[in-house]
Amino acid sequence: MILRQFLHSDPVAASYLFGCGGKSAAAVVDPVGDIAPYLRVAEATGMRILYVVDTHIHADHISAGRTLAAASGAEYMLFEGAEAGFPFRRAKDGEVVELGNVTMTVMHTPGHTPEHISLLVTDRT
């Protein structure tokens, strides 16, 4: 499994790129700011970004999720209960998303926001 963490200071946030190196299948979670670092890491690790996931609609900063999804050809995902004025793939509680030998299980964890999700990432190799 490939896993890279991106730490941001303005705004304070953490983003992740992870996936299966053998199948070149990746997801990016909660991207913010400039999308170039995500695209550079994907290219450097030989990964194709298939999904961009925002764990919730961010009121405290601007997500780069839709921009990154458009630039990489990935699907943009939010929890199915999100109220957004734009199209997105509606992730369901318990849904398992395949990234080669890595899976991403969607868990609805409301609290921070009503549509908040957590992701359980499993490497099956």
Share of the chain above pLDDT 70, in %: 97
Summarised one tens digit per residue, pLDDT across range 56-96 is 987 667 899 999 999 999 999 999 999 888 999 999 999 99
> In the structure encoding, which two tokens stand for residue 10, read together?
């303005």
CB 30, CB 13: distance < 8 Å: yes
Summarised one tens digit per residue, pLDDT across range 32-51 is 999 999 999 999 999 999 99
Give domain limits for the chain. 2-123
pTM of the model: 0.95
Summarised one tens digit per residue, pLDDT across range 21-30 is 999 999 999 9
CATH 3.60.15.10 fits 2-123, yes or no: yes
Four-point Cα dihedral 30, 69, 50, 96, nearest 10: 50
The beta strand positions in the chain, using DSSP E, are 2-9, 12-20, 25-29, 48-53, 75-79, 89-91, 96-99, 102-108, 117-123
Over 70: is that where the pLDDT of 97 sits? yes
How wide is the angle at C-alpha 87 spanned by C-alphas 81 and 93, nearest 5°? Answer: 30
